[in-house]
Amino acid sequence: MAGQQGQYFYTNRIVRYCLLAMEEIMGKNGLNAILNMAKLQHLIDNYPPEDMEKKFDFADFSALIAALEEMYGPRGGRGLALRAGRAGFARGLQGFGPLIGASDLAFRVLPLGTKLKLGLPMEAGVFNQFSDQVSRVEEKDDHFLYYIDRCPVCWGRTKTDKPVCFAATGLLQESLRWLSSGKEFRIDEISCIGMGDSSCIFKIYKEPIG
């Protein structure tokens, strides 16, 4: 089920680099097939511009991610969405650091736990500012809970039997790698609006992997 068009919008730059990553992974013809399946033919050779404008419809982004799963199956679609989400952050948000002060030397030399405690809420704030995504963070003993209360990844999807926001998981993985200067963290989506839950919730374990 498609979400309503024209209500909420995502950041052009993130979507542009997700599309470029998908093109790199599956080839131009493969991506064009996905865009056709998602009824997004207007994006063929016409990716969003490289800016932070809120111009890319949530309904279109959700349709794009759903088409990945439809064409490649749940496992293949999950892997591609994770990679696209990581690329969306790594390549598309080069200007992200200065927005939250995380490129400053004073931030880079902070202890890891402090970086996460400060960086995750600031990251949520940037998405709230530059897109219609609604995000917030809660800290627990050994993990953080990253809430997306209005989610572009599963927008309009109401029939999923499991969490489907792998693109958001990938974006969070890459943002944490960047915040921590190269460490990887385990992230589990434990609640999903696409399943009928009130929020998409990502459990981020404080202890890095390995």
pTM of the model: 0.91
Distance CA 1, CA 143 (A): 33
Predicted confidence (pLDDT) per residue in 155-202, tens digit = 999 889 999 999 999 999 998 998 888 999 999 999 999 999 999 999
In angstroms and rounded to an integer, the radius of gyration of the C-alpha atoms of the chain is 16
Predicted confidence (pLDDT) per residue in 64-92, tens digit = 999 999 999 989 999 999 998 898 888 76
**All residues at 6 or more sequence positions from 14 whose CB lies less than 8 Å from its CB, including other chains:** 88, 89, 92, 93, 131, 171
- The ranges assigned to domains in the chain are 9-92, 110-205
Among candidate residues 67, 112, 89, the one with its CA nearest the CA of residue 169: 89
Distances (CA, A) of 63 to 39, 56, 134, 149: 8, 12, 19, 19
192 token code pair: 């999903």
Q: Please classify residue 210 by burial: count the beta carbons closer than 10 Å to its beta carbon, then call 0-12 exposed, 13-18 middle and 19+ buried.
A: exposed
Residue 17 banded pLDDT, cuts 50, 70, 90: confident
Distance CA 161, CA 183 (A): 31
What's the fold here for domain 110-205? Muramoyl-pentapeptide Carboxypeptidase; domain 2 (3.30.1380)
Amino acid at 190: I
181 contacts 108 by C-beta, under 8 angstroms: yes
| Count of other CB atoms within 10 angstroms of residue 86 | 22
Q: Which helix (H) or strand (E) holds 115?
A: helix 112-130
SS3 141: coil
Rounded mean pLDDT of 10-35?
91
Distance CA 45, CA 117 (A): 40
